[in-house]
């Protein structure tokens, strides 16, 4: 049953909330921090207190509770999977962009794809790619646009993309494939014209990715902390960008090792320019900054 958040003293008023009755005690923060790191691998030093407070406040208001400490008590007493989902959706940082770190997309179509298609170890004509930690879909749709362009010039070329994330909120967004028009600036104009449809609905101008491109991507929930990812496919390319930064070194190593189980020998892994895999003991060799190849 959904909690109404009503205490004996009645629900919190807007004034009480804005007067600062919201603060999470140090012990309350420590409990959430342990939970978040245990569930998601995300580091939670004390400096994240303000962030955790602001991210969870929305839920406190929805439940009309009086404070974050009240929410903390409720959260840890309740076994609701839906409440766990609220916290995970609130705590994860989902910042992303179309064609973020644009050089990766040039490298993909100019170097990685031609090399993979020449590689005799590969089986099957369809290239398989995984956007691991795909957020609201901008990354896998950028990959799809680039590969659709490649396919237009290379008959017989085909591809499929898997997008995974822990947050159900961003996955729902990604499946819709609807974006504010203000976000499409980084997409080359020719691709915008081919792969996006203007939508007349809603207050703000939005675009929707064309169905033919949406069909190339399937979105699934996956927690990098799971012992077994239960993914049967072997991928030619993995985009794993701007996720590692949230993990400590041993978690980074464990996660990259698990990802490599589903990357073919000679397959490519793209990390972010701000992330280095070189301190990790993983079966990859660096090709250039942030681009790695599976040994084997």
Ligand X SMILES: C[S@@+](CC[C@H](N)C(=O)[O-])C[C@H]1O[C@@H](n2cnc3c(N)ncnc32)[C@H](O)[C@@H]1O
The correct pick among 22, 40, 52, 112 for binding ligand X (CB under 6 A) is 40
Nearer to ligand X, 42 or 44 (CB): 42
Distance (Å, whole) CA 163 – CA 141? 10
Q: How far is the CB of 170 from ligand X (least distance, A)?
A: 5
Tell me, yes or no, if 200 is annotated catalytic: no
The correct pick among 37, 67, 96, 290 for binding ligand X (CB under 6 A) is 96
Helix (H) or strand (E) holding 194: helix 189-195
Residues numbered 200-259 forming contacts with ligand X, rule: CB under 6 A? 222-225, 241-243, 246
Nearer to ligand X, 67 or 167 (CB): 167
The correct pick among 94, 111, 176, 199 for binding ligand X (CB under 6 A) is 94
Nearer to ligand X, 214 or 241 (CB): 241
Contacts of 195 (CB under 8 A, 6+ apart): 141, 144, 145, 148, 187, 209, 210, 213
Nearer to ligand X, 206 or 255 (CB): 255
- What is the total count of residues that contact ligand X (CB under 6 A)? 25
- List the catalytic residue out of 59, 69, 165, 294: 165
Q: Are 96 and 138 in contact (CB under 8 A)?
A: yes
Q: Which of 72, 74, 90, 80 is nearest to 34 (CA)?
A: 72
Strands (E), the chain: 126-132, 158-165, 178-180, 196-199, 206-209, 217-221, 235-239, 263-270, 284-288, 291-294
Q: How far is the CB of 6 from ligand X (least distance, A)?
A: 31
Contact between 41 and ligand X per CB under 6 A:
yes
Q: How far is the CB of 96 from ligand X (least distance, A)?
A: 3
Contact between 271 and ligand X per CB under 6 A:
no
Dihedral sign, Cα of residue 55, residue 56, residue 62, residue 64: negative
The correct pick among 12, 28, 44, 133 for binding ligand X (CB under 6 A) is 133
SS3 179: strand
Contacts of 210 (CB under 8 A, 6+ apart): 194, 195, 196, 197
Dihedral angle of Cα 226, 232, 233, 239, to the nearest 10 degrees: 0
Q: Are 82 and 74 in contact (CB under 8 A)?
A: no
Nearer to ligand X, 166 or 260 (CB): 166
Contact between 90 and ligand X per CB under 6 A:
no
Tell me, yes or no, if 175 is annotated catalytic: no
Distance (Å, whole) CA 84 – CA 10? 25
Q: How far is the CB of 235 from ligand X (least distance, A)?
A: 15
The correct pick among 53, 93, 111, 168 for binding ligand X (CB under 6 A) is 93
- List the catalytic residue out of 55, 61, 175, 257: 55
Contact between 168 and ligand X per CB under 6 A:
no
Contact between 69 and ligand X per CB under 6 A:
no
Tally the C-alpha atoms within 13 A of residue 223's C-alpha that lie toward its C-beta: 14
Nearer to ligand X, 98 or 195 (CB): 98
Residue whose token pair is 């804005």: 18
What residues act catalytically?
55, 165
Contacts with ligand X by CB under 6 A lie at 40-42, 92-96, 100, 133-135, 139, 165-167, 170, 222-225, 241-243, 246
């Amino acid at each position: 049953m959904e909690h109404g958040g009503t205490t004996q003293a009645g629900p919190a008023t807007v004034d009480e909330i804005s007067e600062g009755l919201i603060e999470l005690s140090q012990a309350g923060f420590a409990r959430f921090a342990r939970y978040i790191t245990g569930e998601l691998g995300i580091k939670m030093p004390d400096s994240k207190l303000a962030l955790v407070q602001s991210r969870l406040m929305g839920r406190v208001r929805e439940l009309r509770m009086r404070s974050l400490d009240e929410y903390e008590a409720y959260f840890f007493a309740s076994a609701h999977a839906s409440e766990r989902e609220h916290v995970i959706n609130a705590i994860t940082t989902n910042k992303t962009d179309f064609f973020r770190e644009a050089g990766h997309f040039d490298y993909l179509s100019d170097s990685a794809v031609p090399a993979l298609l020449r590689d005799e170890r590969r089986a099957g004509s369809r290239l398989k790619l995984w956007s691991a930690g795909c957020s609201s879909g901008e990354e896998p749709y950028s990959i799809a646009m680039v590969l659709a362009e490649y396919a237009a010039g290379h008959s017989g070329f085909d591809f499929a993309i898997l997008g995974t994330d822990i947050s159900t909120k961003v996955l729902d967004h990604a499946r819709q494939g609807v974006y504010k028009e203000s976000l499409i600036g980084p997409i080359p104009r020719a691709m915008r014209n081919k792969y996006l449809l203007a939508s007349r609905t809603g207050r703000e101008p939005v675009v929707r990715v064309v169905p033919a491109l949406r069909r190339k991507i399937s979105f699934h929930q996956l927690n990098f902390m799971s012992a077994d990812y239960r993914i049967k496919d072997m991928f030619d390319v993995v985009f794993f960008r701007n996720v590692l930064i949230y993990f400590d070194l041993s978690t980074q190593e464990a996660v990259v090792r698990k990802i490599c189980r589903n990357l073919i020998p000679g397959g490519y892994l793209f990390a972010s320019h701000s992330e280095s895999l070189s301190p990790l003991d993983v079966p990859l060799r660096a090709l250039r900054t942030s681009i790695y190849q599976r040994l084997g």
